[in-house]
């Protein structure tokens, strides 16, 4: 390509595919120099934080679930923990385990969707899972069966897989009986084997070489793999209580666009959440099955290549099955299923690990139990700055290709973060005009 003074090259992905929600990608180069890299969100805003105000706090887990159809449990979990922190409610160990089990169901459902149906087609050269099924029916079938197990557990424990109805502030509306859950043990043991088999295959994929110096951030708990609670830690030594999140992470307007980007206050830079961050910061807390498998396929943190997200996610699938089996085998129904509480004027914040990374919720409640303010910071709006930074660093590798292929390569990179645009839309930049 000949370069002239002042020549602009624009590369555009009008509508990204195989991501949750809708967004595009805008890249502009001037004389071969990267001028602008924007991940555009054209999902219309939905104003959850505004209409939560004035609602009874009991509505919050049901309403915030609707932010995302792929990870509703994450929204329910962060919201109930934040509200319980405000109310001073302490849940029982049995409720805590049952919540972890529910979260395992969602990790399985969400990770299986991303690994097998959204991300894998990129590595094998297909437009999507349906097209891939013609050449590799067994791979797609296996992915669907893994995902189905997660959905079935959510159905049983949550009432339904999408927007479960059984999560309450204080616990659950009804705890399943032992029999209702014990029948999952055998299918989940089979699911664990399927997930292990899939992970071995995924480890042999051809991964582009691209290492980034990430500031990785995740919840860290002394004896558990990050999920429902812990301190927020980073690989450079940050360690704070989860409710201190707003004091360390901010969304900032950046000058080159209408963007609100999340950065860490201490560093002034973006950071990365999600499977790569969790697996690096909590590798020793992975279930033995997942750790052994990581050794076997030679996955060794630190891994700073975003394209390996699919492998980290696959190992987390193995972990989720192993942990779910453990909880299922030792399940005792919590009595009561829901801890009592009294209203009080208070504020509370909490973070949990959504499949895509740390999800912070903060609420203010009035003495009559109504929400006075809500602050929700989903993982994709936090990752967005890092995704754009990665695109800038990745572009030089692919710029010699024709525009269409550059766009494809960039879209594949973006897909590796499993972005959930439906989640992030009401918080970050929104560009409503399409095309």
Partner 1 sequence: MPAKPRLAVVKFASCDGCQLSLLSLEDELLRLAGKIEVAYFLEATSRIEPGPYDVVLVEGSITTADDATRIQQLRRAAKYLITIGACATAGGIQALKNWADSEEYLRAVYARPDYIRTLATSTAIADHVAVDFELRGCPINKHQLLEVLRSLLAGCQPRTPTYSVCVECKRRGSVCVMVAHGTPCLGPVTQAGCGAICPAYDRGCYGCFGPSDQPNLVPLTDHLRSIGMTPEQVVNSLRGFSGYAGEFRRESERLVESIGTIATGVGAAAVEPDVADSSGEWGDGQPGGDPK
404 binds partner 1 (CB under 8 A): no
> Could you say which residues in the range 192-251 bind partner 1, by CB under 8 A?
251
Sign of CA dihedral 312, 318, 321, 322: negative
Please, which residue, 285 or 429, has the CB nearer to partner 1? Answer: 429
Interactions with partner 1, residue window 278-307 (CB under 8 A): none
Please pick, from the candidates 32, 54, 88, 246, the single residue that binds partner 1 as defined by CB under 8 A: 54
- Between 174 and 248, CB nearer to partner 1: 174
Binding residues for partner 1 restricted to 4-33, rule: CB under 8 A: 15-22
- The alpha carbon of 361 is separated from its chain's Cα centroid by a whole number of angstroms, namely 14
Which 157-186 positions form the footprint of partner 1 (CB under 8 A)?
A: 159-163, 165-166, 168-170, 173-174
**Closest approach of Cβ 20 to partner 1, in Å?**
5
- Return the structure tokens found at 306: 């975003």
Q: How many CA atoms lie within 13 A of 235 on its CB side?
A: 19
Report the site for partner 1 in 344-383 (rule: CB under 8 A). 367-370
Choices 69-77, 278-286, 296-304, 386-394 (CB under 8 A): range interacting with partner 1: 69-77
Structure token pair of residue 147:
């995902």
DSSP labels for 284-301?
GGS-HHHHHHHHHTT--S
> Which residues, at least 6 apart from 331, have a Cβ–Cβ distance to it below 8 Å?
97, 98, 101, 178, 181, 182
- Residues in region 102-121 near partner 1 by CB under 8 A: 113, 117-118, 121
Helix (H, G, I), strand (E, B) or coil at 155: helix
Out of 97, 100, 114, 426, which residue is the one contacting partner 1 (CB under 8 A)?
426
Q: Name which position in 3, 51, 292, 345 contacts partner 1 (CB under 8 A).
A: 51
Q: How far is CA 153 from CA 176, 192, 316, 430, in A?
A: 11, 14, 17, 35
Beta carbon of residue 360, minimum distance to partner 1 (angstroms, whole number)? 16
**Smallest distance from the beta carbon of 200 to partner 1, in angstroms?**
22
Nearest 5°: phi and psi at 11?
Answer: -120, 130
Please select the residue that binds partner 1; options are 3, 31, 127, 266, rule is CB under 8 A. 127
Of 390, 383, 312, 359, nearest to 115 (Cα)? 312
Closest distance to partner 1 from the beta carbon of 76 (Å): 13
Q: What is the CA radius of gyration of the chain?
A: 21
CB of 413 to partner 1, least distance (A): 14
């Amino acid at each position: 390509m000949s370069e002239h003074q002042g020549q602009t090259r624009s590369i555009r992905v009008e509508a990204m595919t195989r991501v949750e929600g809708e967004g595009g990608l805008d890249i502009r180069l001037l004389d071969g120099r990267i001028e602008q890299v924007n991940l555009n969100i054209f999902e219309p805003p939905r104003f959850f934080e505004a209409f939560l105000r004035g609602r009874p706090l009991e509505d919050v887990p049901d309403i915030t679930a609707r932010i995302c159809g792929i990870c509703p449990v994450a929204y329910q979990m962060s919201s109930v923990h934040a509200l319980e922190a405000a109310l001073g409610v302490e849940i029982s160990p049995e409720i805590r385990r049952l919540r972890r089990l529910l979260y395992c169901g969602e990790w399985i459902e969400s990770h299986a969707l991303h690994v097998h149906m959204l991300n894998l087609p990129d590595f094998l050269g297909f437009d999507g899972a349906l097209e891939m099924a013609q050449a590799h029916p067994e791979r797609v079938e296996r992915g669907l069966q893994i995902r189905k197990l997660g959905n079935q557990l959510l159905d049983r424990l949550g009432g339904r897989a999408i927007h479960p109805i059984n999560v309450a502030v204080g616990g659950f509306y009804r705890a399943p009986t032992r029999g209702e859950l014990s029948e999952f043990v055998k299918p989940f043991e089979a699911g664990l084997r399927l997930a292990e088999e899939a992970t071995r295959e995924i480890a042999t994929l051809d991964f582009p070489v691209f290492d980034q110096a990430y500031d990785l951030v995740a919840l860290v708990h002394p004896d558990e793999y990050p999920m429902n609670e812990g301190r927020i830690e980073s690989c450079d030594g940050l360690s704070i209580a989860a409710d201190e999140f707003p004091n360390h992470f901010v969304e900032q307007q950046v000058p080159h666009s209408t963007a609100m980007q999340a950065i860490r206050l201490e560093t002034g830079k973006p950071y990365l959440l999600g499977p790569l961050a969790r697996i690096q910061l909590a590798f020793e807390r992975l279930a033995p099955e997942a750790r052994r498998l990581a050794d076997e396929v030679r996955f060794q943190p630190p891994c700073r290549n975003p394209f390996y997200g699919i492998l980290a996610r696959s190992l987390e699938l193995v972990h989720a099955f192993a942990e779910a089996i453990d909880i299922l085998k030792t399940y005792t129904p919590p009595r009561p299923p829901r801890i009592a509480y009294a209203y009080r004027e208070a504020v509370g914040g909490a973070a949990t690990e959504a499949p895509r990374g740390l999800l912070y919720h903060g609420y203010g409640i009035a003495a009559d139990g109504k929400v006075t303010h809500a602050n929700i910071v989903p993982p994709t709006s936090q990752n967005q700055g890092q995704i754009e930074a990665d695109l800038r660093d990745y572009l030089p590798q692919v710029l010699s290709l024709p525009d269409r292929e550059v766009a494809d390569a960039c879209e594949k990179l973006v897909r590796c973060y499993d972005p959930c645009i439906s989640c992030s839309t009401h918080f970050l930049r929104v560009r409503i005009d399409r095309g």
